[in-house]
A and B are shown apart, each in its own frame.
Chain A
Amino acid sequence: MSGDEAEKVYVAPGKYDEFYYFVSGGFSGQLATYGIPSGRLLKVIPVYSVNPENGYGYTEESKPMLNTSYGFVPWDDSHHSELSQTDGVPDGRWVFINGNNTPRLARIDLKTFRTVEILEIPNSAGNHSSPFITPGTEYVVAGTRFSVPVPNKDVPISTYKENFRGTISFIKVDKDKGDMSIAFQLITPPYDYDLSHAGKGPSYGWFFFSCYNSEEANTLLEVNASQKDKDYIMAVNWKKIEEFVAQNKGTMMESKYAHNKWSDETHSATSEILTSTRTLKPEDVPGCIYYIPCPKSPHGADVDPTGNYIVGGGKLATVIPVFSFEKIKKAIESNQSDGNVEGIPVLKYDECLAGEVQNPGLGPLHTEFDDKGFAYTSAFVSSEIVKWKVETREVVDRMPVYYSVGHLSIPGGDSRKPWGKYLVSMNKMTKDRYLPTGPELTQSAQLIDISGEKMKLLSDFPTIGEPHYAQGIPADLVTKNQIKIYKIEDNKNPYATKSPNDAKVVREGNVVHVYIAAMRSHFTPDNIEGVKVGDEVYFHMTNLEQDWDIPHGFAVMGNQNSEMLVMPGETCSLKWVPERAGIYPMYCTDFCSALHQEMQGYVRVSPKDSNTPLTFSTGNK
Chain B
Amino acid sequence: MNKTSRILILVSALVMIAIYFVPVWNISLDAPQYPEGLGMQIWINKMTGDLQIINGLNHYIGMKTIQPDSIQELKFMPYILGFIIMYGLLVVIINKKSLLLSWIIIMIIIGAIGAYDFWSWEYDYGHNLDPTAAIKVPGMNYQPPLIGSKQLLNFNASSMPDIGAFILFASGIAAIIILIYEYKKSKIKNTGL
Contacts and interface: CB of A to CB of B under 8 A. Distances in A.
A548 B57 CA distance: 13
A595 B134 contact: yes
Contacts of B134: 521, 595, 598
A547 B60 contact: no
A545 B56 contact: yes
B102 interface: no
A594 interface: yes
Q: Is the interface of B mostly helix, strand, loop or mixed?
A: helix
7 contacts: A519-B56, A520-B56, A521-B60, A546-B53, A548-B36, A593-B60, A595-B60
Contact of B56 (A547, A548, A595, A598): A547
A579 B74 CA distance: 56
B56 A594 contact: no
A594 B50 CA distance: 20
Given A595-B60, A595-B134, 4 more contacts: A520-B57, A521-B60, A547-B53, A547-B56
A185 to B, nearest CB: 48
Contacts of B57: 520
Interface in A578-611: 593-595, 598
A594 B60 contact: yes
Q: Is the interface of A mostly helix, strand, loop or mixed?
A: loop
Interface string A513-532: 00000011100000000000
In the complex, the 8 A-B pairs of residues with the closest C-beta atoms, listed nearest first: A547-B53, A546-B52, A595-B134, A520-B56, A519-B56, A546-B53, A548-B36, A547-B56
A13 to B, nearest CB: 12
Contacts of A546: 52-53
Contacts of A521: 60, 134
A598 B59 CA distance: 15
Contacts of A547: 50, 53, 56
A595 to B, nearest CB: 6
Interface in B141-168: none
Interface string B42-82: 00000000101100110010000000000000000000000
A545 B56 CA distance: 8
B58 to A, nearest CB: 11
Nearest to A548: B36
Interface of B: 36, 50, 52-53, 56-57, 60, 134-135
Interface residue tally of chain A, by bracket? 10 to 19
A521 B60 CA distance: 9
Contacts of B60: 520-521, 593-595
Interface string A539-550: 000000111100
A547 B52 CA distance: 9
Nearest to A545: B56
A520 B57 CA distance: 8
B127 to A, nearest CB: 22
A568 to B, nearest CB: 10
Interface string A123-143: 000000000000000000000
A546 B36 CA distance: 14
* Residue among B50, B60, B135 with the highest chain A CB neighbour number at 10 A: B60
A464 B141 CA distance: 50
B153 to A, nearest CB: 10
B39 to A, nearest CB: 13
Nearest to A594: B60
A289 B109 CA distance: 87
Nearest to B135: A594
Interface string A541-581: 00001111000000000000000000000000000000000
Contacts of A520: 56-57, 60
Interface in A499-521: 519-521
A389 to B, nearest CB: 47
Nearest to B59: A520
A545 B57 CA distance: 11
A210 B56 CA distance: 58
Contacts of B53: 545-547
Interface string A87-125: 000000000000000000000000000000000000000
A205 B135 CA distance: 66
Contacts of A595: 60, 134
B155 to A, nearest CB: 13
A593 B134 CA distance: 12
Contacts of B52: 546
Nearest to B52: A546
Contacts of B56: 519-520, 545, 547
A404 B136 CA distance: 61
A16 to B, nearest CB: 13
A593 B52 CA distance: 16
A562 to B, nearest CB: 27
A598 B60 CA distance: 12
A595 B60 CA distance: 9
Contacts of B50: 547
A547 B34 CA distance: 10
